[in-house]
Amino acid sequence: MDKILSASDVYDRMMSCPHYSGAVAIVLRFEVYYRMQFLSYLINGISLGSVYALIALGYTMVYGIAKMLNFAHGDVIMIGSYVVFFTFGSFGWNPAVAIILSMIVCTVLGVLVERVAYRPLREAPSLAVLITAIGVSYLLQQVAQLLWTSNPKSFPSVVANSSIFKPLQLFNGQLTISAETIVTILACIVIMVALLYFINHTPAGHAMQAVSEDRGAAQLMGVNVNATISLTFAIGSALAAVAGALLCSSYPTLQPTTGAMPGIKAFVAAVFGGIGSIPGAFLGGVLLGVIENLSKAYISTQLSDAIVFLVLIVVLLVKPTGLLGKKVNVKV
Amino acid sequence: MKKLISAALASAMVLSLAACGSTGSSESTSAATTGDSAATAEASATDGTTPIKLGGIGPTTGSAASYGIAVMQGEQLAVDEINAAAGHTVFEFKFEDDEHDAEKSMNAYNTLKDWGMQALLGPVTSTPSLSVAGETVNDNMFMLTPSASAVDVVETGDNVFQMCFTDPNQGIVSADYIAEKGLGTKIGVIYDSSDAYSMGIYNAFAEEATAKGLEVVTAVSFTSDNKSDLSTQVAKCQEAGADLVFLPIYYNEASQILIAADKVGYKPTFFGCDGMDGILTIEGFDTSLAEGLMLLCPFSATATDETTQKFVSAYEAAYNETPIQFAADAYDCVYAIYECVQNGSINGDMSASDMCDALKAQFTTMTFNGTTGEGQTWSADGTVNKPPRVYVVTDGAYQTAE
């Protein structure tokens, strides 16, 4: 042989040989097929992960500023979803109007919960606040059950008939990215950027950072701590309304416990990414969704949760503050 | 550590409460019965019979509420009919909510015992039934569950009977039916590995399917904590090329699977068991997605036989809704007990334990015709034998599959 064959030459020669072409074509087709499968599982994972990320943004923001775990966040999501279900699903309102109304309802609810249940405990040990948050979570679930019964409702997708957002077809329609996934990821990125801008470049955002860093010192410097924390809850709850509408659009069963499990997963995502960090919540959420779905697809549908939490434990062992968490140096 | 201690304390408390219930039971039952016979002395004076106190337990709130409410209404309807037909109070009936929770079900059972219950028609769901069944064995209280289908429930004791098929039985009958009718060659299964009902059906189905030469190409699961996204499970079935997907799960998750399958344009035959009953009633669910769905279910409101039609019209008149299978099972439970009253084997003056022994003897020998099947018989182990019925969803309603 007088010249070294390139890979494409080898391929061409093999294809021109009748003995090999069939076999090679089959191998290639298999490879394409499995790559497609993998991509579709990956996209399902990103879709689930973006919902976790959206919920985790609310968790991480409240934790970063108020230094408390608002376990009722998942249930605010559920209440928001019911508002959208009735206004958009039953009365046929414009989805944007329905979501805005739901954001208003959730904001009021979030601020009210903070005022009634958390503010009186501001100086109490953090364990007391944690238990109160769990109590609020159950209260909201039971109230929802009384108001709307526990019968599951099938949630109509808010982007199903949208003229702007269409499902994306890739590779001649072999791969479809649903409109819900696109909207959830976009919403997640927009909200993340807006939050980062708000916190770093506005007076109210600076006040939040100050409260987050040292509540006592911030108060001495003239920052209204109560108002700042109320604002944090307002924003977190408004985000919950958006998350609820998108969660139920992708996974359409709505009942009073709908928010509970995604809420806990999102909390895990927030810890995974580094609780208190806004980009961390996004990263943690998406990674959690992808790991969960790929382990379902390739390892075991039964063990996927175990694998997710195993990864979490490993990450926290190596990096206790989470992927993007800040290391806090305590000066003595 | 704190969590551990509090959990230990809480469970200790529950245990001690349960223990209180069982030790105090015989006294409280007898006290209640004597108190009650005094209270109903006037009634007995006029018609010469003491009413039998029937208790019911089931979830009227919570995630399985539609089953519990259906059972409560079915039992109430039967009690009302029997009392009206007899012209005096044959049965007194009291129903307690358990929210599909084992612990709350125990509380409900103890409440009913304090009330003076002589026979239990419940609980509705399998997990609570397992814990209550253990107590009924200790008390020798007759327990006839309308719908708790786990085989462990009847295995708890010889005083526990079922009105519905056991889970394994549903799995076996489903596999037989699919094989016999040639509904599919490559079978996919999606089941809930955290749920006794689903696991029970799945295990028996898998075994019987192999025996019948059906090829189960994939079996994927989800858990109660991990069911917001079921699209991967659907994709696995599609990838494996399943042309029939067996869904031994409840209708709530099944509706999500139908939606996910529709999104990716996957159209196998879906085949479910009695937990699927209710899928057409989900608010907001596009029932056209359930078109062609098959389900093994001993009762359908659309059946044309006289017993069913009489029951359906009475139920609709009373509650303004169409009865589901759970209501029919519950209705049959009361009538099965009534058959024993009519042949004189039990009466309201018996203690709960004596009544239990009498009912055990009756159930293992009688043949009962009800809305959920003709010629129903019970084995000594408490399981029921009746002919299976399969329905297919056509134009948004159940039609008998041929």
Q: What is the pLDDT of residues A100-139, one digit of tens each?
A: 999 999 999 999 999 999 989 888 888 888 899 999 999 9
Does any domain span residue A314? no
For residues B298 and B372, is the Cβ–Cβ distance under 8 A? yes
Are residue B196 and residue B277 in the same domain, yes or no? yes
The reported pLDDT for the residue numbered B117 is 94
Radius of gyration of chain B measured on its C-alpha atoms? 22
Nearest CA in chain A to B60: A150
Min mean pLDDT across A42-51, A253-262, A290-299, B19-28 is at B19-28
Q: How far apart are CA A154 and CA B202, in angstroms?
A: 26
Domain count, chain A: 1
For residues B105 and B20, is the Cβ–Cβ distance under 8 A? no
Does any domain span residue B22? no
**Would the CB atoms of A305 and B223 count as touching at under 8 Å?**
yes
Domain count, chain B: 2
- The angle, 0 to 180 degrees and rounded to 10, between the axes of the packed helices A304-318 and A260-273 is 30
Distance in Å, alpha carbon of B374 to nearest chain A alpha carbon: 32
- Which of A176, A251, A255 lies at the smallest CB-CB distance from B229? A251
**Would the CB atoms of B220 and A251 count as touching at under 8 Å?**
no
Q: How far apart are CA A127 and CA B2, in angstroms?
A: 11
As given in the structure block, the two tokens for residue A153 are 């409702």
For residues B119 and B140, is the Cβ–Cβ distance under 8 A? no
For residues A77 and A55, is the Cβ–Cβ distance under 8 A? yes
DSSP reduced 3-state for B376:
strand
* Exposure letters A124-161 (e unless 16+ CB within 10 A, then b): eeeeebeebbeebbeebbeebbeebbbbbbbbbbbbee
Does any domain span residue A187? yes
The label of the residue with tokens 């044309």 reads B304
Angle at B257 between CA A158 and CA B186, to 5 degrees: 145
Q: Tens-digit pLDDT profile for chain B (402 aa)?
A: 455 555 555 555 554 444 444 433 333 434 444 444 444 444 444 455 789 999 999 999 877 888 899 999 999 999 999 999 998 899 999 999 998 889 999 999 999 999 999 999 989 988 899 999 999 999 999 999 998 888 888 888 999 999 988 888 889 989 999 998 888 889 999 999 888 889 989 999 999 999 998 999 999 998 877 777 888 899 889 988 999 999 999 888 899 999 989 888 899 999 998 888 888 888 888 888 999 999 888 887 877 778 888 999 999 999 998 888 899 999 999 999 999 998 888 888 899 999 999 999 999 999 998 888 888 899 988 988 887 788 888 888 888 776
Q: Residues of A with CB below 8 A from B255's CB?
A: 152, 154, 252-253
Does any domain span residue A39? no
Are residue B257 and residue B180 in the same domain, yes or no? yes
The label of the residue with tokens 């015992």 reads B113
* Range A182-192 average pLDDT: 89
- Which of A176, A296, A302 lies at the smallest CB-CB distance from B232? A296
The DSSP output letter for A327 is P
Q: Residues of B with CB below 8 A from A145's CB?
A: 61-62
Does any domain span residue A3? no
Are residue B320 and residue B368 in the same domain, yes or no? yes
Does any domain span residue B38? no
Are residue B133 and residue B182 in the same domain, yes or no? no
For residues A111 and A175, is the Cβ–Cβ distance under 8 A? no
**Would the CB atoms of A257 and B63 count as touching at under 8 Å?**
yes
Residue A6 or B115, more confident: B115
Angle at B265 between CA B263 and CA B267, to 5 degrees: 120
Nearest CA in chain A to B258: A252
Are residue B190 and residue B243 in the same domain, yes or no? yes
Q: Which amino acid is at A243?
A: A
Are residue B161 and residue B175 in the same domain, yes or no? no
Distance in Å, alpha carbon of A153 to nearest chain B alpha carbon: 5
Does any domain span residue B302? no
For residues B187 and B215, is the Cβ–Cβ distance under 8 A? yes
Distance in Å, alpha carbon of B154 to nearest chain A alpha carbon: 28
In the predicted structure, residue A187 carries a pLDDT above the cut 60 = yes
Min mean pLDDT across A12-26, A33-47, B123-137 is at A12-26
Does any domain span residue A103? yes
Predicted-complex ipTM score: 0.72
Q: What is the pTM of this model?
A: 0.72
* B373-378 β-sheet, strand order: B368-370, B373-378, B384-385
**Would the CB atoms of A252 and B252 count as touching at under 8 Å?**
no
The DSSP output letter for B290 is G
Domain that holds residue B259: 168-297
- Is some CB atom of chain A closer than 8 A to the CB atom of B288? no
Beta strands in B332-389 (DSSP E): 368-370, 373-378, 384-385
3-class SS string, A10-54: HHHHHHHCHHHHHHHHHHHHHHHHHHHHHHHHHHHHHHHHHHHHH
Q: Residues of B with CB below 8 A from A74's CB?
A: none
Does any domain span residue B100? yes
Q: Which amino acid is at A177?
A: I
- Residue count of chain A, please give it: 332
DSSP reduced 3-state for A64:
helix
As given in the structure block, the two tokens for residue B65 are 């509420």
Q: What is the pLDDT of residues A210-251, one digit of tens each?
A: 988 888 898 898 889 999 999 999 999 999 999 999 989 888
Q: Which amino acid is at B330?
A: A
Nearest CA in chain B to A37: B239
The reported pLDDT for the residue numbered B306 is 82
**Would the CB atoms of A150 and B222 count as touching at under 8 Å?**
no
- Is some CB atom of chain A closer than 8 A to the CB atom of B223? yes
**Would the CB atoms of B223 and A302 count as touching at under 8 Å?**
yes
- Which of B66, B236, B263 lies at the smallest CB-CB distance from A297? B236
Nearest to B202 by CA among B171, B233, B223, B179: B171
**Would the CB atoms of B63 and A301 count as touching at under 8 Å?**
no
Distance in Å, alpha carbon of B384 to nearest chain A alpha carbon: 29
For residues A261 and A24, is the Cβ–Cβ distance under 8 A? no
Are residue B127 and residue B72 in the same domain, yes or no? yes
Angle at A165 between CA A162 and CA A168, to 5 degrees: 130
Are residue B292 and residue B197 in the same domain, yes or no? yes
Instruction: Give how far Cα A44 sits from Cα of A32, A41, A139, B63, Å.
Output: 18, 5, 33, 27
Q: How far apart are CA B399 and CA B402, in angstroms?
A: 9
- Residue count of chain B, please give it: 402
In this structure, what CATH number is given to the domain that contains residue B311?
3.40.50.2300
* Range A139-156 average pLDDT: 87
Angle at A205 between CA A280 and CA A191, to 5 degrees: 45
* B119-121 β-sheet, strand order: B91-97, B52-58, B119-121, B142-145, B160-162
Does any domain span residue A237? yes
Q: How far apart are CA A325 and CA A9, in angstroms?
A: 50
Nearest CA in chain B to A253: B256
Nearest to A200 by CA among A279, A271, A93, A262: A279
Residue A124's region, left for phi above 0, alpha for psi from -120 to 50, else beta, is beta
Give the list of residues 6+ apart from residue A128 with CB closer than 8 angstroms, or none: A121
The label of the residue with tokens 């996934």 reads A181
Classify strands B294-296 and B390-394 as parallel, antiparallel or unpaired. antiparallel
**Would the CB atoms of B229 and A44 count as touching at under 8 Å?**
yes
The reported pLDDT for the residue numbered B19 is 44
Q: Residues of B with CB below 8 A from A262's CB?
A: 228
Does any domain span residue B41? no
Nearest CA in chain B to A179: B263
Does any domain span residue A302? no
Q: Is B353 exposed, middle or buried (0-12, 13-18, 19+ CB in 10 A)?
A: middle
The reported pLDDT for the residue numbered A166 is 75
B87: β partners? none
Domain that holds residue A273: 57-279
For residues B368 and B46, is the Cβ–Cβ distance under 8 A? no
Interface list for B 114-153 with A (CB within 8 A): none
The reported pLDDT for the residue numbered B372 is 87
B223: β partners? B226
The reported pLDDT for the residue numbered B28 is 40
Q: Residues of B with CB below 8 A from A297's CB?
A: 232, 235-236
B245: β partners? B188, B270
Does any domain span residue B285? yes
As given in the structure block, the two tokens for residue B85 are 């037909």
Q: How far apart are CA A179 and CA B165, in angstroms?
A: 43
Does any domain span residue B32? no
Maximum alpha-carbon separation in chain B: 72
Q: Which amino acid is at B90?
A: V
Residue A40 or A112, more confident: A112
- Is some CB atom of chain A closer than 8 A to the CB atom of B105? no
**Would the CB atoms of A255 and B282 count as touching at under 8 Å?**
no
- Is some CB atom of chain A closer than 8 A to the CB atom of B61? yes
For residues A325 and A79, is the Cβ–Cβ distance under 8 A? no
Q: Which amino acid is at B281?
A: T
Q: What is the pLDDT of residues A73-92, one digit of tens each?
A: 999 999 999 999 999 888 88
Does any domain span residue A131? yes
Sign, Cα dihedral of B129, B133, B135, B141: positive
Does any domain span residue B400? no
Are residue B284 and residue B182 in the same domain, yes or no? yes
The reported pLDDT for the residue numbered A152 is 83
Peptide linkage before B123 cis (omega within 30 of 0): yes
**Would the CB atoms of B283 and A153 count as touching at under 8 Å?**
yes
